[in-house]
Structure 1
Amino acid sequence: MPTESARVVIDLDLPGPTISRHVYGHFAEHLGRCIYGGFWVGEDSPIPNAGGIRLDVVEALRALQIPNLRWPGGCFADDYHWRDGIGPRAERPRMVNSHWGDVVEDNSFGTHEFMALCELLGADAYISGNVGSGTVAEMSEWIEYLTRADDSPMAALRRQNGRDEPWKVPFFGLGNEAWGCGGNLRVEQFASLARQYSTYVRNHAGNDVYRIAAGASDADYHWTEVLMKSFGPLDGADGPAAPFQGISLHYYTMTGSWEDKGSATAFTDDEWYLALSRAGHMDELLTRHSTVMDRYDPNKRVGLVVDEWGTWWNVEPGTNPGFLYQQNTLRDALVASVHFDAFHRHADRVVMANIAQTVNVLQAMILTDPDTGALVLTPTYHVFAMNAAHHDATSLAAHVVAPGATRAVDGKELQLLSASASTKGSTAHVSLSNLDAAQDRTVVLDLRGRDVVGFSAQILTAPELHGHNTPEQPEAVAPRKLEEIRRHPRGLELDVPAHSYVTVALELGADD
């Protein structure tokens, strides 16, 4: 099929809001093999570990510059009582993980293990607190246990359990999916609880907590509006919002129904496009939730936290349906790239996002083989790695001009070329996704406002749409240098193959 042309216009000298590195955050729930067999193998494991934490997983995530990790859930969080996960492991009480496989949880991975993991990763902790079945006192004591430095009762208990110095906990979630597994509450009920619980998640010993109230699912704009109404006055420009500082949003991409979500690897071209169209729906959700928030918070003091997003497919055949283990293909990688473009465009409101989940669950970064111990980096992992230059960079508007690069999907027009850009110091970074299953494109980067003195590019693609990595073929889908990039009178020109993801690194001249 002949190559078609497109243009992306970027004004390098017109910076927008900063893209928080925290939109590249992650999520680890006590679900399937995410914690046990993923992050945690135990101190007696033949797999190299530090105090039971699997070191090859740590190394792989450190290479992504992982900014934060959300734990212990998810739905599990609102059944979790933190005191069950401290003290000698052999003496910790067990519980039933009723949400995920109806298995017995022995609590061998608890608060100390999680905080040690965050320290190994160099990541900020995002603790999800129990509103659904917990108490205000329980949550208040947990933040005291984690962050207080003196001889308070909880600080003393922490020292008794082997940790002298307090930890830093920048982010704390007030419940999870309160409209569903977190209590089946009406938003009017939950808004009052969020105000109450947040009051007792106190700032101890200089640890300033960013409190995040459980927000809406998908297009539930009423939930967002009621939470926004529950704040005190937000028309001032200074200081953090009160009593909490952020609200969450959850949205998953699937091609089927909730009962039959579609296969991770066996899909048609139509399902390829449907998945990418539904991934693109995130941009509309961000626009409309932000519009509701703007009505009450014109100065954007309240952050929007997309702390669960990603693909959700049927589990791999032969695996426990409650463990949510799925393979990860090139299609998942492009779902991720489309989401990141949306997060970049909404950098003024979106302060954090957490893909679901980090290891062995849903749209994972890493898959580990339970029999051989082999570790596999997924195509989605590589999108995170290729986009690391966007962390804390200043967003740039990327205007796509691509005549004919659309497809009617699910009653909407899917734009088949997606782009975003950012700048930091004397560099800039452009991300391009060619969502067309079959059509190559020549793309001109129309770069204005600053001179480009150097450039390089990477590409992620595969011969087949369902290409994925396995222990036998761990680099079937892996980035490589893109050679097909050259100077153009308007800036640069590059050949972007069908079904591919490309990043372009720019060296810029002096900013006049």
Structure 2
Amino acid sequence: MPSTRVVIDLDLPGATISRHVYGHFAEHLGRCIYGGFFVGEDSDIPNEGGIRLDVVEALRELNIPNLRWPGGCFADDYHWRDGIGPRDERPRMVNSHWGDVVEDNSFGTHEFMQLCEMLGADAYVNGNVGSGTVREMSEWIEYLTRADDSPMASLRRENGRDEPWKVPFFGIGNEAWGCGGNMRAEAYADLARQYATYVRNHGDNTVYRIAAGANSDDYAWTDELMKALGCLGCDGQGSSPYQALSLHYYTMSGSWEAKGSATEFDEDEWYLTLSRAYRIEELLTRHSTVMDRHDPRRRVGLVLDEWGTWWDVEPGTNPGFLYQQNTLRDALVASVHFDAFHRHADRLVMANIAQTVNVLQAMLLTDPETGALVKTPTFHVFAMNTPHHDAQALAAHVVDGETRTEDGRELPLLSASASTKDGAALVSLSNLDAGQARTVVLDLRGAEIAGFSAQVLTAASTADHNTPENPDAVAPASHDGIRRHERGLEVDLPAHSYVTVTLELA
């Protein structure tokens, strides 16, 4: 069999991969906020204003570009005025979506914006369309971003913040087709235009408004939202009520009723999961095609602001808290998604993994008893990929790669992408074969290579994961299975592994 090659033209850079496709998501769900990001000022865990310092320190390693909050489904039950002012005077509410627990609103607008400042991340605030009002949303953006003595700016000052914040991203509701109101596409499209009109730019803060888009393969929803924008650019300025549409897609090996175990799975489930992860390529392509019919100049962005694996909760945990472990399988689900994101950099402007701490495909897990912090295998894929942030995508063509038929589609057993920035390039390689190592030739064209290095993320078992007792069971290591080849470089890929190759261009 011919050896597998990945052909990369290093001198033909394409669209810029926005750093925002490496975004994150924090909802008032389970232990994501409380016990994850926020422990309160009286906690023994080191904190600043109640925000966990070890969580902040870990996420800064990822150069986290943005954080979406407060939901998710929670966003369309959340009334922002309940989360400002003295904490002991804030009203409580019932979090009916996630565990039916009482929310005390001790983490609100000021705490979230402080968290973003500590992370060095842009704020992506998701407004309430489902149970809120236009006025409520309009006053929130005024409260956040206006500098003068307007009513909301004055209220912000009364609550201890003089200067306005920057809020680059604002979501116009969430999952309007489901938990955000059970709306029809036509009805929501009209509301999106209305609500977005009142999310105003104050001072020098320019808001990128994101309409609540489709679930998975609901292309009709995307079509309706694009039609609602009318003739883009007819006003001579290219303006529209909202500047992007969202998309949600989760990966699982089972069904919504029985999603499968996070840590106990066989080889068939391994391949089924990765095949379903690979489906993101089809979804991005087809939603982009629908958008292209209305917007051939690609002025409107696509935002995948919920994605990742969704497994049955860990035994013994609250089923409404969505706490799951995170294995090497989850890491490769992430790497497959990132390769697709890089290929769609001309339309995909943001993506937000669900969720950052203790929920679904988390970066970090915290132990509720000891407070110990664990970095997951998915965390390490994000860390290994930071050189892709704001780099220019390079086409990576896999030649003579093996495939496997799974779930009615062809699953390539090698996934690859590449980018270039500042005289260097990064090549990402995922060997999705559960049991077979392979050697890949990087056919590098258009530039000379002055130097190279590699990292590998793998483990003895596909189900290996990190715990407080063994926090580095799955962790990146320097990879010496790389050498020069007449076409460029030759790279050894262990079975079930993720490898990044850094190229120094001459």
TM-score class, shorter-chain normalisation, is over 0.9
* Aligned twin of 2:331: 333
Give yes or no for contact 1:4–1:442 (8 Å, CA) kept in 2. no
Give yes or no for contact 2:482–2:489 (8 Å, CA) kept in 1. yes
Displacement of 1:54? 0.1
Task: Specify which of 152, 175, 178 is matched with residue 177 of structure 1.
Answer: 175
Q: Matches of 1:487 and 1:241 in 2, distance apart?
A: 51
* Aligned twin of 1:51: 49
Change (3 A) 1:73 1:491: same
Task: Specify which of 381, 384, 400 is matched with residue 383 of structure 1.
Answer: 381
Deviations 1:49-76 (A, max 9, x none): 0010000000000010000000000000
Give yes or no for contact 1:8–1:398 (8 Å, CA) kept in 2. yes
* Aligned twin of 1:441: 438
Give yes or no for contact 2:22–2:382 (8 Å, CA) kept in 1. yes
**Aligned-residue identity in percent:** 79
Q: Secondary structure of 2:30's match?
A: coil
Matched, 1:39 2:37: yes
Change (3 A) 1:54 1:410: same
* Aligned twin of 2:457: 460
Q: Matches of 1:10 and 1:99 in 2, distance apart?
A: 46
For structure 1, the 5+ residue unaligned runs are none
Q: Matches of 1:294 and 1:435 in 2, distance apart?
A: 32
Change (3 A) 1:367 1:134: same
Displacement of 1:241? 4.0
Q: Which moved more, 1:366-375 or 1:229-238?
A: 229-238
* Aligned twin of 1:284: 282
Displacement of 1:425? 2.2
Q: Given residue 482 of structure 1, which amino acid in structure 2 is its aligned partner?
A: H
Q: Matches of 1:286 and 1:209 in 2, distance apart?
A: 24
Task: Specify which of 163, 173, 195 is matched with residue 193 of structure 2.
Answer: 195
Q: Secondary structure of 1:351's match?
A: strand
Q: Given residue 199 of structure 2, which amino acid in structure 1 is its aligned partner?
A: V
Change (3 A) 1:145 1:237: closer
Give yes or no for contact 1:235–1:298 (8 Å, CA) kept in 2. no
Q: Given residue 415 of structure 2, which amino acid in structure 1 is its aligned partner?
A: S
Task: Specify which of 242, 259, 262 is matched with residue 261 of structure 1.
Answer: 259
Task: Specify which of 418, 422, 432 is matched with residue 421 of structure 1.
Answer: 418
Change (3 A) 1:395 1:237: farther
Displacement of 1:158? 0.1
Give yes or no for contact 1:24–1:354 (8 Å, CA) kept in 2. yes
* Aligned twin of 1:85: 83
Q: Matches of 2:49 and 2:463 in 1, distance apart?
A: 37
Q: Secondary structure of 1:342's match?
A: helix
Q: Matches of 2:275 and 2:25 in 1, distance apart?
A: 24
* Aligned twin of 1:308: 306
Q: Given residue 333 of structure 2, which amino acid in structure 1 is its aligned partner?
A: V
Give yes or no for contact 1:330–1:462 (8 Å, CA) kept in 2. yes
* Aligned twin of 2:18: 20
Change (3 A) 1:238 1:381: farther
Change (3 A) 1:339 1:114: same
Aligned residues: 506
Q: Secondary structure of 2:3's match?
A: strand
Displacement of 1:408? 1.2
Q: Matches of 1:89 and 1:4 in 2, distance apart?
A: 65
Q: Given residue 30 of structure 1, which amino acid in structure 2 is its aligned partner?
A: H
Displacement of 1:79? 0.1
Q: Matches of 2:105 and 2:158 in 1, distance apart?
A: 18
Q: Given residue 495 of structure 2, which amino acid in structure 1 is its aligned partner?
A: A
Q: Given residue 504 of structure 2, which amino acid in structure 1 is its aligned partner?
A: E
* Aligned twin of 2:476: 479
Q: Given residue 220 of structure 1, which amino acid in structure 2 is its aligned partner?
A: D
Q: What pairs with 1:11-410 in structure 2 (closer than 5 Å)?
A: 11-234=9-232, 241-403=239-401, 405-410=402-407
Give yes or no for contact 1:149–1:165 (8 Å, CA) kept in 2. yes
Q: Matches of 2:479 and 2:232 in 1, distance apart?
A: 47
Q: Secondary structure of 1:23's match?
A: helix
Give yes or no for contact 2:233–2:239 (8 Å, CA) kept in 1. no
Matched, 1:470 2:482: no
Give yes or no for contact 1:402–1:417 (8 Å, CA) kept in 2. no
Displacement of 1:240? 5.1
Deviations 1:311-355 (A, max 9, x none): 000000000000000000000000000000000000000000000
Give yes or no for contact 2:168–2:206 (8 Å, CA) kept in 1. yes
Q: Matches of 2:365 and 2:303 in 1, distance apart?
A: 26
Q: Matches of 1:142 and 1:435 in 2, distance apart?
A: 45
Give yes or no for contact 2:232–2:238 (8 Å, CA) kept in 1. no
Task: Specify which of 499, 504, 508 is matched with residue 505 of structure 2.
Answer: 508
Q: Matches of 1:203 and 1:103 in 2, distance apart?
A: 35
Q: Given residue 409 of structure 2, which amino acid in structure 1 is its aligned partner?
A: K
Change (3 A) 1:4 1:52: farther
Q: Matches of 2:225 and 2:130 in 1, distance apart?
A: 17
Deviations 1:127-149 (A, max 9, x none): 00000000000000000000000
Q: Secondary structure of 2:371's match?
A: coil
Change (3 A) 1:416 1:194: same
Give yes or no for contact 2:327–2:465 (8 Å, CA) kept in 1. yes
Q: Matches of 1:123 and 1:109 in 2, distance apart?
A: 17
Deviations 1:463-495 (A, max 9, x none): 001010000000000000000100001000010
For structure 2, the 5+ residue unaligned runs are none
Give yes or no for contact 1:237–1:301 (8 Å, CA) kept in 2. no
Q: Given residue 484 of structure 2, which amino acid in structure 1 is its aligned partner?
A: R
Q: Secondary structure of 1:473's match?
A: coil
Displacement of 1:411? 1.2
Displacement of 1:439? 1.0
Displacement of 1:5? 3.1
For normalisation by structure 2, the TM-score amounts to 0.99
